């Protein structure tokens, strides 16, 4: 399968057998959600994931997803009924008195101004700021209802001053580094500097997934994508920050730019949400997944479906079935009239994941594979850059990503169309090509005498030097 599947681990799957079952069903990336659970539990999940990878012989990447600065209502003695057109006052939880509503975010009064919107409880309740006095924020209730303790707060259009990494995130990051995770998810990214700050705190080989879930991240989208390694369309909070009718447009824009910048992109949240309680997805959910694939997403993510759902393994099976069918339709041309893929510009921006030489080689590799009707493309890579670049051009055949680095082998599991191969032989063109040839024959992708297009960066040890293309007969 060309599309990759990300599964969130939770009580429904957080056992050795559960994770082994996910691996056997085809999960490529295990998401460890640091918003829940203990460090001991997370370390255990990572260990079981490595065991499952060894047992199946398939690379499975680990995505450590940091919780980020979640702004919430504080603890209330009892639920409050908010009535439209009435006014309420928000105050820091250490100062709130009387009928004031406490908030866990002490900088709220410094960040908002009259006219700003404040959304509570996933957008079910809406306030409009009337006045700011010291640390107090007076608001008019626009959309009322019952407000309970510790409900989330969103501030659309507001540049919040809270840092992207909280103290909890920094403690969680220490565990992630110690466990040698493959990807770190950065929540509530607002600007490129948020990504750059995280980069200084992690090992060079660890890659960053920037989660696009705030409306002001969309304003800085190109700058964020240019400095990150991968992105996630996090439709949960994004669907609160934006009017719901704008979310599909934002999703398409994020995916298109990620493809353009040669960054893997994950589409997440409520993809098969009904399968938390149902053994079958709805038709609308199937269409949603299919449209994300047509848009060009690298991976689709299951959240509650595999974390707390009643049918976690059926959800993975459903996701695999949908992706397999869409890929089959694309190969046959049956889907082309319905969802033509936008062609990449002939000359990409220099920021877009490589130099013009590197893009020329990657583009020529894909065109040569089409012209020669090759069964596969072979990329020889140490960092994953070459495979990622070729993947962004969406060739019609599998990309065999051969590497001598175990970490890269796992990271390649996220990239669309890439089948990672770990080569333990001496590092050379001939030895890595031999590993690719052996894999192609064993997997039945190619037969003796078939031609494949091989691309690499020479010398191998220099990062980002995709500069060579050859046609080889197997």
Report, as residue numbers or ranges, the catalytic residues.
31, 72, 211, 269
Say what angle helices 247-260 and 283-295 make with each other, to 10 degrees: 30
Checking DSSP bridges between strand 117-120 and strand 153-154, what pairing results, if any?
antiparallel
What whole-number distance in Å separates Cα of residue 219 and Cα of residue 244? 17
Q: Which residue in this structure is represented by tokens 């299951």? A: 302
The greatest distance separating any two alpha carbons of the chain, rounded to the nearest whole angstrom, comes to 81
Cβ-based neighbours of 379, under 8 Å, separated by 6 or more: 386, 387, 390, 399, 400, 401, 402, 418, 454, 455, 456
Is 300 within 8 Å of 319 (Cβ atoms)?
A: yes
- CB atoms < 10 A from the CB of 454, how many? 23
Cβ contact 1:320 at 8 Å: yes
Distances (CA, A) of 259 to 205, 263, 288, 297, 332: 22, 6, 19, 8, 23
């Amino acid at each position: 399968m060309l599309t990759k599947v990300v599964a969130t681990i939770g009580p429904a799957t957080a056992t050795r057998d559960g994770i082994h079952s996910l691996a056997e069903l085809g999960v490529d990336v295990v998401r460890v959600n640091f918003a829940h659970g203990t460090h001991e539990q997370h370390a255990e999940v990572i260990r079981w994931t490595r065991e499952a990878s060894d047992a199946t012989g398939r690379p499975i990447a680990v995505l450590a997803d940091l919780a980020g600065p979640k702004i919430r209502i504080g603890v209330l003695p009892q639920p409050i009924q908010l009535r439209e057109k009435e006014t309420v006052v928000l105050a820091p939880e250490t100062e709130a008195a009387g009928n004031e509503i406490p908030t866990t975010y002490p900088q709220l009064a410094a960040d908002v101004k009259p006219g700003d919107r404040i959304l509570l409880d996933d957008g079910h309740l809406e306030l409009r700021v009337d006045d700011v006095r010291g640390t107090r924020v007076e608001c008019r209730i626009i959309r009322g209802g019952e407000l309970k303790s510790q409900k989330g707060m969103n501030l659309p259009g507001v540049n919040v001053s809270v840092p992207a990494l909280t103290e909890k995130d920094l403690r969680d990051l220490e565990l992630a580094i110690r466990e040698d995770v493959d990807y770190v998810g950065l929540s509530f990214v607002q600007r490129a500097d948020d990504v750059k700050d995280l980069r200084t705190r992690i090992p060079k080989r660890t890659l960053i997934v920037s989660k696009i879930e705030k409306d002001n991240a969309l304003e800085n989208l190109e700058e964020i994508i240019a400095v990150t390694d991968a992105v996630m369309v996090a439709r949960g909070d994004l669907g609160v920050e934006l009017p719901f009718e704008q979310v599909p447009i934002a999703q398409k824009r994020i995916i298109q730019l990620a493809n353009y910048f040669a960054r893997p992109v994950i589409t997440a949240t409520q993809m098969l949400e009904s399968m938390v309680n149902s053994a079958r997805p709805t038709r609308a959910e199937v269409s949603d997944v299919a449209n994300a694939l047509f848009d060009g997403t690298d991976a689709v993510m299951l959240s509650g479906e595999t974390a707390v759902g009643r049918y976690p393994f059926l959800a993975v099976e459903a996701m695999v079935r949908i992706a397999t069918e869409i890929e089959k339709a694309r190969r046959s041309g049956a889907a082309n009239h319905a969802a033509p893929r936008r062609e990449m510009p002939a000359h990409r921006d220099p920021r877009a994941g490589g130099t013009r030489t590197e893009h020329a080689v990657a583009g020529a590799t894909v065109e040569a594979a089409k012209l020669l009707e090759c069964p596969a493309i072979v990329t020889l890579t140490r960092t994953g850059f070459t495979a990622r670049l070729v993947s962004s051009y969406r060739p019609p055949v599998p990309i065999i990503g051969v590497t001598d680095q175990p970490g890269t082998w796992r990271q390649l599991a996220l990239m669309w169309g890439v089948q990672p191969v770990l080569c333990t032989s001496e590092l050379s063109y001939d030895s890595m090509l031999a590993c690719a040839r052996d894999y192609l024959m064993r997997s039945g992708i190619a037969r003796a005498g078939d031609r494949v297009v091989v691309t690499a960066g020479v010398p191998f040890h220099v990062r980002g030097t995709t500069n060579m293309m050859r046609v080889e007969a197997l």
